Amino acid sequence: MRIWQQLRERLESLTGQSRWKNSRLRRVIWGVFFFALLTLVLGNQTVPARLDVNVGDVAPRDVRAPRAVFNEILTRQRQEAAEQAVTPVYKREPAVLENAERYVKAIFTEIRRIRGQAAIDLGTRAQNLADRIRLAVLPEEVYEALLTADDAAIDLVEEQALALLRTALGEDVYERDVARVKVGIDSGAEPFILAVEDPNLAQFVRELVKSRIESNMVQDQEQTDWLRTRAAQEVPEVWWQPGQLIIEKGKTITEDQYQALVDLGLVGQKASYQGWAGAALMSLVAVAVMAVSISRWRPELLERDSKLMLLGLIGFITLFLSLAMNLFSVQLGEGASYLMPIALNAVLAAILLDPRVALLQSVLLAVLLGIFASSAQVGAVAVGVVGSAVGVYTVARVESRNDLYRSGLMVGVANAVTVLALNLLESAPLLDWQVWRDVALGAGNGLLVAILATGALPLFETLFGIVTPLKLLELSNPNHPLLKRLMVEAPGSYHHTILVANLCEAAAEAIGADPVLARVGAYYHDIGKIKRPAFFVENQFGGENPHDKLPPSLSAMIITSHVKEGVELAREAGLPQEIVDFIPEHHGTMLVSYFYHMASQNNPSEYVLEEDFRYEGPKPRSRETAICMLADGCEASVRAMRQKGHLSHDQIEQQVRRIINDRLQQGQLDNCDLTLKELDTIARVFVKVLSGVHHARIDYPGQQKPSEGADPAQAGAGQEGSTAAQTGAGQAGAAAGPAGAAEDTEDTTDGDLG
């Protein structure tokens, strides 16, 4: 505990307002600091460290895409592959058959010409015919048969050759079919049957037709190009997705990887000013929105450097944890963004600072992460906003650590429903396991928020001295060392604090102040009396009053010193500042009037300074400490009056309103924002509670009433024990001096004197 106290004191010294005399300058400095830090974080997400590499180099480290970037090279390669995969479109070319027919007819024209050269011997004509036809595979007998056959036979051969050619090229003949057709012509099978009986002439027809067989299917270039263009257009563009690994440490950098680094501005030494400028503008907008909103909603946060530091620390911790979820983007894809614990900021800031500020900061964080986080999408922004809103709502009244897990459960349910709704909007198939995986990640986000908040909350409470409902509940435990000491060493003061705490809680709840803070602060407002309990009448129990032997100035110093001693005890115990404030502020700068008047009467010739008999203050600066001041004075005064006899409801009300009016007239309530309407409400609540405590009782047989002429101080002392026994609340201290109870009907400015 001492270590945490030292850390907190060091933090307060670093953030103390005394270091910054100009509050406006201090706010500007904080704003610039948060702006610079946020720009640095967001800028590094947009513009990572640059590399000095080329194609073929070994990657010095892993680099992931900070944003989506078009992979032009890989897209072009896939488009080319799609074009090559398109089967060319063919069409039949009639000119192939026409050219073949013209060739055959020209051959037979030549045959008839040579046949007409009767003066030349047969051998010479056969050789001339072979030279003209150029079918080397034919023997000489074939040519001689062509020259010796009658004209009818030659006409039949020509007719058969043309018919066979039309049969062969009358169908679609691709390049791959040419050999098959030639084999069919050689075999004479259907449909390539010849009606030529002479085998030599039949052989000539087959060889002549075979020489003209070629593919009659040619590529339709226009249609093929159109199909290939369409196929290339149908290839989806390839993009490097946010968070995708572009280069891997130790592996060679390919051309498309290098181009991606160039497009992202990650190669070379030139800075990417546009990326940094965008990050700076977004940071400026976020900081400005937060500053304006805080100045309107909770301006007091701007006056406490520690509160500003805490708000910024919560925000940046949430930001770093959310960005860390990018490490799982490769395995989980978009689902990794559903793990970003944005609601952690909402839960912690709502408990420690202010719900509205917490929700606004969470919304801004969700938007920034949606823009800059590589794995985040629009869905992640929606999940972050919904989860944060639920988180702020569910921690509005946290009364135990278990309530944090309840809040985490509600955040998880809200996240899961939001993720499911987003998938339904995108018409995602509900049987897809990835849908339910993302739903489970959203629910797990709530559990993660609960675990992190439960662990971080005590640390922030202790380090920054923040009073949360959970911290107040811990401090209200009667086993707290200071409360145990007060109960044992100053039981009368302890009983007084219990009743004052009840008054404070009831009044605070009635006017909308913090009832838990008011009650717990009242528990510790008189702990300084532990040091010298016997000097306070509620702890004397009818015994000797030590003030009878002391001069008034020393008695006043002892009485007022319980404030300083109480503050010292509170700081040693590590109590939050909000609780410590109850100790000096519940007396404000009031006058210890009994000893002041006694000093004036004992030394009429000397001038007695009021400042020597006043508490050092400060005056109450919050509604809760002001309520404690009023409750302390009213409880002491009414109890002192009760010692003289039973009190009616009207008497109690008259005294309560006199005490409150007295404090108001003295200016003790000038520094708190209690209104007259609220003071009237407080008075009515006090009267109701005190009337229940000091109601009339039956006088039991054997009880003795003080005689009419008895000394008021002795009467008050004599009834101390019986009154405490009957009410169970103890004596709050009607008087510290011999006049005791008599003074409370005349002067009620002494909080401990009555």
Asked if residue 713 has pLDDT above 50, the reply is no
pLDDT for position 630: 95
749 pLDDT more than 60: no
What are 264's two structure tokens?
A: 């992202």
Q: How confident is the model at residue 270 (pLDDT cuts 50, 70, 90)?
A: low
Average pLDDT over residues 305-329: 81
Helix residue ranges per DSSP H, 264-338: 273-297, 305-324, 329-332
Could you tell me the pLDDT band of residue 726, with boundaries at 50, 70 and 90? Answer: very low
Domain ranges of the chain: 2-47+272-466, 90-219, 480-695+710-744
Alpha-carbon distance of 99 to 86, in angstroms, equals 31
Q: What is the DSSP secondary-structure string of 499-557? A: HHHHHHHHHHHHHTS-HHHHHHHHHTTTGGGGSSGGGSGGGTTTS--GGGGS-HHHHHH
pLDDT given at position 67: 72
pLDDT digits (tens, 9 = 90+) for 135-154: 767 888 888 888 888 888 88
Cβ–Cβ < 8 Å for 754, 743: yes
pLDDT band, residue 423 (cuts 50/70/90): confident
Q: What is the largest CA-CA distance in the chain?
A: 186
Residue-wise pLDDT tens digits, 558-578: 888 889 999 999 988 888 888
The pLDDT of residue 717 is above 50: no
Question: 12 falls in which pLDDT band (50, 70, 90)?
Answer: low
Q: Which residues contact 251 (CB under 8 A, 6 or more apart)?
A: 58, 59
Name the pTM for this structure.
0.57
Angstrom distance (rounded) from CA 394 to CA 511: 23
pLDDT of residue 182: 86
pLDDT band at 752 (very low <50, low <70, confident <90, very high): low
Determine the pLDDT at residue 729.
32
pLDDT band at 709 (very low <50, low <70, confident <90, very high): very low
Percent of the chain with pLDDT over 70: 84
Residue 469 has pLDDT above 60, yes or no: yes
Number of neighbouring beta carbons within 10 Å of residue 102 = 11
Structure token pair of residue 247: 């280069």
The fold for domain 480-695+710-744 equals Hypothetical protein af1432 (1.10.3210)
> How far is Cα 355 from Cα 313, in angstroms, rounded to an integer?
16
Residue 700: its pLDDT value, please?
56
Asked whether 594 and 743 are in contact (CB, 8 A), the reply is yes
Q: If pLDDT is split at 50, 70 and 90, which confidence band does 699 have? A: low
Mean pLDDT of 37-65: 77
Spatial distance between the Cα atoms of 208 and 200, rounded to a whole number of angstroms: 12
Q: How far apart are CA 73 and CA 260, in angstroms?
A: 9
Q: How confident is the model at residue 627 (pLDDT cuts 50, 70, 90)?
A: very high
The string of pLDDT tens digits covering residues 323-369 is 887 666 555 556 677 888 888 888 888 888 888 888 898 889 888 88
